[in-house]
A and B are shown apart, each in its own frame.
Chain A
Amino acid sequence: MSNLIDDDPRIIEFDVRTDEMLVNMGPQHPSTHGVLRLVLRTDGEIVSETEPHIGYLHRCAEKIGENVSPRQWIPYTDRLDYLAAMNMNLGWALTVEKLMRHGVGEKARHLRVLIAELNRIASHLVGMGAYGLDLGTFSPFLYAFREREKILDLFEEACGARLTYSYITVGGATADLPPGWLQKCEAFLDQFEPIIKEYHALLTTNAIFVKRTAGVGVLSREMAIDYGCSGPVLRGSGVDQDMRRDGESLYTGMYDGYAFEVAVQKDGRYPRDHTYPSVPKEAVLGDCWHRFFVRMLEVVQSMDLVRQSIDRYAACREPLGEPLKLAEKLPVGDAYLETEAPKGQMGFYIVGNGTSIPWRVRARSSSFSNLSVTHELCRGCLIADVPAIVGSLDIVMGEIDR
């Protein structure tokens, strides 16, 4: 005791500082989007360090790919980004087609655009709804899922599955669209279009939503590029890049003749600035609000693309064509292709050795790179900001852990 009294009071004061606390957020946590585990170092409400731990959903998908033929691996690609399984199918199918130098017909091309963009809408709806959930509002989540259900109904009619479709496959698609499907799809788009305004009213322009997201988790343009971010995360930071426009010709050829504008802020303006809510004053380019808004714009962009592809698909008179055989021999060589999945650039790598089983299969996941910025963004934020930041990255654990 006497020591304490004799000591310099400043030392005692220094000694009774509040302790830092290590908190595990996840893998069982309502807002870590699956089984992500974040280890937070907190001082009260302030997070000084965030460390993501992954691997809870690892299923050796890539290794399995080296033991089955490419078409047999299609169902495994469904389970990478299970919210955008069509886009995963498409990425893998295109990569294998690139290796085999196999092209698809016009009808299959437009069908793929149609399906992939429809799935992009569905994926962004989940991202949007779940983001509302992360910020503590439950209803937009269900409004988003209500519309997503209708897209899933359409998919179910086309391929029989609601989540893991295995529809787009090497050499085309497993089946043509059933009769009357296009009308239903158009009816859905007409019905869905005005609902986007409701989402904007509930979230994008909501004062509390803006307070929670604007200026939070600012990802600078340089940092986004350094960490290899892609998709809406990259575009939310103002980088004008979209693989549908800037990718390899094999992929961009799919979008030949389609008119779309990349959803990115240029000169302080977004495309469609006049029809959609203006950027709030508090928002900084690269913050959570911008990432969210880019996704909302991409929903509209995808709707446009779906409408265009419906017309083109309907104009094609030839049959869809058969996909490749299940055990088609692969040539010797390798191929890598990146496509623009809803979450970002999804790359697939395949090495063929003359048999029907690939020698190497690898996937480059956009969510993995996007997640890697969390520790930068979460430094010094509040605990409540952690779900807001992680949610705005819109990650899917199936894709990260593969």
Chain B
Amino acid sequence: MADFLIGLGLPGWLAWSIAALVAAVLLHNVIAGGALVFIWAERKIAARIQDRLGPTRTGGRFGWLQSLADGIKLLAKEDLMPEGADGLLFRLAPYVSFCASFCAFIALPFAFDVVGQRLNVGVFFVVAVLGLEVFGVILAGYASASKWSLFGAMREAAQVVSYEVPLGMCVVVPVMLAGTMDLVTIAEKQSGWMSNWYLFHDPFTFVIFWVYVTCAVASVNRAPFDLAEAESELVAGFHTEYSGLRWSFFFMAEYGSMFLVSALAAVLFLGGWNGPVPVAQLVGLSEGTGDSAAYFVRLLGLANLIGKATFGVLLMMWVRWTLPRLRIDQVMTTCLKYCTPIAAVMFAGAMFWQLFLPGGLLPGWSRPAGEIREGWLEGPGGLPATSAPAVRSAGVAAAEPSDSSGLATRSPR
């Protein structure tokens, strides 16, 4: 889009700004809308699990407008702040959480080349920005002048910071296999049949995927790790004193993060936008050509990735409505005694596997069935240079980090 605007004669900085703005607005609305859908879905799923109906009337059928109605209600609610609260921090906290959760989407590829901003350190960026969400929660708990909120904040601080360690180790494994931190390239390398997914790359990645799932659930504060807002212990934890739209910002951040970690799992382990069967490749279509067929393939990829991420979110909901909550010491034990050592061993295992068996146990098993876009997959060491390599597909511009080819221009939406 920026190129197009420059072509119209606009100065570069303006073109870039407009392109970034369009991308931001698109992303923001897609994620916020998605959060609304997920909140509705959670209510319906929880209701079905519990032999209830859930919302049935708002919006005609299935109560599909319930989240929107709730949003309007929250907008109209009185904005309360406790007397002893630290006004500035109290007001700031929800936005910190919200921004952290939503900013991480910038680097998340939804399909081939459908990404807000392709970064050569995409994985790093997503994990780091997502980790900032904890600041919002700590601020909220600290500024609320409520003992329950403070407990929630301290729990969150202890828990999320601890889980960042095994989570980081899990994330590093696909990075090591792909040889890049660029999320687009990581997903690209898993194209082809399902066996190319890093989940099935070797036994170590298979195990580490489940460690990742555990840590991801813990890092977004979902049951059974929802200690920061443990309602039966801490009333509502860190958001006890929040009401109205500020409270809903925390909620949106939570659902946004849930989708984000699920999407990240899909990109890192489940082939990203590559389906289990490379339909497009089999019928001879390519997503990188730039014609209308490519857009169609990207649309398919988008559906693929959103489907996988949604499945992850639904899994979290299922778990939430089934399991009791762990105690804080048990949460920490799970992290420090199980997740971290397992992740470390699996990381080492995957490393040695990559060193000694780069082609897999069965020759040809883990090689893309279709075309291999990047020649360096076949390199002797298996490990290419770590600088983000350009995607040499026809019709796609080089992948310089500043090159905003992205959602704004090529989103099929």
Chain A: residues with CB nearer than 8 A to chain B? 21, 23, 29-31, 44-45, 132-139, 142-143, 146, 202-203, 206, 208-209, 211-212, 382-387
Contacts and interface: CB of A to CB of B under 8 A. Distances in A.
A44 B330 contact: no
A203 B324 CA distance: 8
B129 interface: no
A194 to B, nearest CB: 15
Interface of B: 46, 49-52, 147-148, 151, 154-155, 223-224, 226-227, 230-235, 321-330
A139 B231 contact: no
Given A45-B151, A133-B232, A142-B52, A385 B322 contact: no
B326 A212 contact: yes
Contacts of B155: 45
Given A208-B324, A382-B327, A135 B50 contact: no
B232 A136 contact: yes
A202 B322 contact: yes
A23 to B, nearest CB: 5
Contact of A212 (B49, B51, B322, B327): B327
Contacts of B226: 136
Nearest to B232: A31
B51 A142 contact: yes
B154 A146 contact: no
B324 A212 contact: yes
Contact of B235 (A21, A29, A385): A29
Contact of A136 (B147, B148, B324, B328): B324
Given A143-B50, A143-B51, A384-B233, A211 B323 contact: no
A59 B321 CA distance: 37
Contacts of A29: 235
Contacts of A136: 223-224, 226, 230-233, 324-325
A138 B330 CA distance: 20
Contact of A387 (B52, B233, B322, B323): B233
Given A206-B323, A208-B323, A382 B328 contact: yes
Contacts of A385: 327
Contacts of A208: 224, 323-326
27 contacts: A31-B231, A45-B151, A45-B328, A135-B232, A136-B224, A136-B233, A136-B325, A138-B321, A139-B49, A139-B321, A143-B51, A206-B323, A208-B224, A208-B324, A208-B325, A209-B324, A211-B327, A212-B324, A212-B325, A212-B327, A382-B328, A383-B233, A384-B227, A384-B233, A384-B325, A384-B327, A385-B327
B230 A384 contact: yes
A31 B230 CA distance: 11
B323 A137 contact: yes
B94 to A, nearest CB: 22
Given A134-B232, A136-B232, A211-B330, A142 B50 contact: yes
Contact of B233 (A31, A132, A203, A211): A31
Contacts of B50: 138-139, 142-143
Given A134-B232, A384-B328, A387-B232, 12 more contacts: A30-B232, A31-B231, A44-B154, A45-B154, A45-B155, A137-B321, A138-B50, A142-B52, A203-B324, A208-B326, A211-B326, A212-B326
Contact of B324 (A21, A44, A137, A386): A137
A41 to B, nearest CB: 12
